Amino acid sequence: MKIMVVGSGGREHAIIKALKKNSAITEIYALPGNGGIAKDAVCVNIGAKDIQGITKFAVENKIDFAVVAPDDPLVLGAVDSLKNVGIPCFGPEKKAAIIEGSKVFSKNLMKKYGIPTAAYEVFDNIGDALSYLETAPIPTVIKADGLALGKGVIIAETREKAKEAVKTIMQDKIFGDSGNSVVIEEFLEGPEVSVLSFTDGKTIVPMISSMDHKRAGDNDTGLNTGGMGTIAPNPYYTPDIANECMEKIFLPTIDAMNKEGRSFSGCLYFGLMLTKSGPKVIEYNCRFGDPETQVVLPLLESDLYTIMKAVSDGKLAETSVKFSQGACCCVVVASSGYPEKYETGFEISVPEKLADFEEIYIAGAKQSEGKLLTAGGRVLGAVAKAQDLKTAITRAYALAENIKFSNSYYRKDIGQRALKIYDCKKEKN
């Protein structure tokens, strides 16, 4: 069986490694993949946004099943295009991917169907947005409507900063047309949880919960990044909270999308904040999270391909989705200077043999003359699992220390906050 995975990051590497466990899969193509993925799949130089090229490749190579992982191709309609030529796919159609593609859409959806989220106003006119900010509660959160490489959210601590943010998004267009409209919303406080879920539009099965570490520096300091590390499960996400989320957020979201004629099939990601007044949706993503996938999939005991095929066939209810009891930690090893300026092109040395509890998922690297060279801000994820979180963290850091390249940088505190929560829970019991 021939599989194609669209995308080129650590998330895609984790998906490919999980798919490879199914012995019926004989060939995996990554479009475009990267120098590290090249060890596990045939990389084809077709960009993730080249919908025509992706579709043509799938037809010409008689691909049996496609996985579209990143937001851009999903929002652009890659799944629609592949389905049109008869290729079965994992991922939402364009009309459902809008749940991530437009924040105005997702906020209005939540309001219409009573799904808990931060209070908000939408503006497509800069004058109205600025005059609203004269009296809006501060701090406030400004979000560009469309996709913005994960950077379209600005938390403004002062009225001046809020106005400046609106100007840079709506006037200077730093995110292009994504900033034609903005959402200005209530600032929420509380621990954040990422919950990825499998859904075929009828059944929804949440995966094990996780915690991202978005800021560049230790103790959540510095700039926001694509994610500097993750742990799973997330200790804040108790069984009671999980039940509440299922009842008030997950099932209502699936229903709402069906009622809107936008049935969602694929991986629906819930970015949640556990506020004093209950869990609220911070964002939806129409895809697997990165680097959440790198800690969630290693804990998946069931076969990923079987689940993805069941989702695509609308038969998720008949399929078993099991996670192990253990914990997992991913330390992202980045190029120093990320997410701003950084140098690339340095040779990466990784341990020759990995233990069965270790994984390295490559995100930003290329092959050159038989060497693996850094080629991005986030270079790779050093991942380890264990029975308990503390051991998983220790193992992931031991692995990160054995990965060498000039100017490498990683946070030293991934999972530390989560560990404190576990310790508090133990003391209480």
Instruction: Kindly list the residues in this chain that would bind ligand GLY in the complex (CB under 6 A).
Output: 150, 212, 227, 285, 289-290, 292
Residue 126: CB minimum distance to ligand AMP, A: 21
Minimum CB separation of residue 230 from ligand GLY in Å reads 8
Which run of H or of E encompasses 279? strand 278-285
Question: Considering CB distances under 5 to 8 angstroms, the limit depending on partner class, which of ligand GLY, ligand AMP, none binds residue 141?
Answer: ligand AMP
Question: Which one, 33 or 381, has the nearer CB to ligand GLY?
Answer: 381
CA distance linking residue 96 with residue 285, whole number of Å: 11
Tell me the closest approach of the beta carbon of residue 359 to ligand AMP, in angstroms.
24
For ligand GLY, give the closer residue by CB, 20 or 214.
Answer: 214
Rg (C-alpha) for the chain, rounded Å, is 21
* Closest to ligand AMP by CB, 231 or 360: 231
CB under 5 to 8 A by kind: which of ligand GLY, ligand AMP, none does 282 bind?
A: ligand AMP
| Nearest residue (CB) to ligand AMP, 71 versus 283 | 283
- Beta carbon nearer to ligand GLY, 101 or 227: 227
CA angle 352, 358, 361 (to 5 degrees): 80
Partner interacting with residue 289 (select from ligand GLY, ligand AMP, none; CB below 5-8 Å by kind): ligand GLY
| CB 71 to ligand GLY: min, Å | 8
69/308 with CB nearer ligand GLY: 69
- Please say which residue, 154 or 348, places its beta carbon nearer to ligand AMP: 154
Q: How far is the CB of 221 from ligand AMP (least distance, A)?
A: 14
What span, in angstroms and rounded, lies between the C-alpha atoms of 56 and 44? 12
Tell me which of ligand GLY, ligand AMP, none is bound by residue 12, counting a contact when its beta carbon lies within the kind-specific cut-off of 5 to 8 angstroms: none
- Quote the least distance from Cβ 371 to ligand AMP, whole Å: 34
Residues across the chain: 429
Cβ nearer to ligand GLY, comparing 1 with 300: 300
Q: Which residues bind ligand AMP (CB under 6 A)?
A: 118, 141, 150, 153, 155, 185-188, 192, 214, 271, 282-283
Which residue blocks in 260-360 are alpha helix, DSSP H?
293-296, 304-313
Distance CA 85, CA 78 (A): 11
Per-residue DSSP letters for 2-18?
EEEEEE-SHHHHHHHHH
Residues 227 and 328: their CA atoms lie apart, in Å, by: 16
Please provide the DSSP assignment of 55-68 as one string: HHHHHHTT-SEEEE
Could you tell me the smallest distance in angstroms from the CB atom of residue 350 to ligand AMP? 30
| Residue 246 CB partners (closer than 8 Å, separation 6+) | 204, 206
Residue 154 per-residue DSSP state? E
- Taking CB within 5 to 8 Å according to partner kind, which of ligand GLY, ligand AMP, none is near residue 50? none
- Name the residue with the smallest CB distance to ligand GLY: 289
Which structure tokens are listed for 341?
Answer: 């300026």
At closest approach, how far in Å is the CB of 99 from ligand AMP? 13
Residue 185 binds which entry of ligand AMP, ligand GLY, none, with Cβ cut-offs from 5 to 8 Å by kind? ligand AMP
Question: Which residues, in sequence order, are bridge partners of residue 366?
Answer: 373
Please provide the DSSP assignment of 342-399 as one string. ----PBPB--SS--TTEEEEE-SEEEETTEEEE-SSEEEEEEEEESSHHHHHHHHHHH
Residue 187 binds which one of ligand AMP, ligand GLY, none, with CB within 5 to 8 A depending on kind? ligand AMP
CB 286 within 8 A of CB 264: yes
CB atoms within 10 A of CB 270: 22
Q: Which option in ligand GLY, ligand AMP, none does residue 285 bind, with CB closer than 5 to 8 A by kind? A: ligand GLY
Using the minimum distance from each CB to ligand GLY, give the nearer residue, 102 or 319: 102
Q: What does the alpha-carbon distance between residue 165 and residue 175 come to, in Å, rounded to a whole number?
A: 11
3-state secondary structure of 407: coil
Which is closer to ligand GLY, CB of 162 or CB of 297?
297
Q: Which does 188 bind (CB under 5 to 8 A by kind): ligand AMP, ligand GLY, none?
A: ligand AMP
CB 110 within 8 A of CB 154: no
Which of the listed partners (ligand GLY, ligand AMP, none) does 278 bind, with a CB threshold of 5 to 8 Å by partner kind? Answer: none
Q: Yes or no: say if 65 and 28 are a contact pair by the CB < 8 Å rule.
A: no
Residue 409 β-bridge partners: 334
Q: Minimum distance between the CB of residue 249 and ligand GLY, rounded to whole angstroms? A: 17
Q: How far is the CB of 290 from ligand GLY (least distance, A)?
A: 5
Tokens of 140: 């406030």
Bridge partners (DSSP) listed for residue 75: none
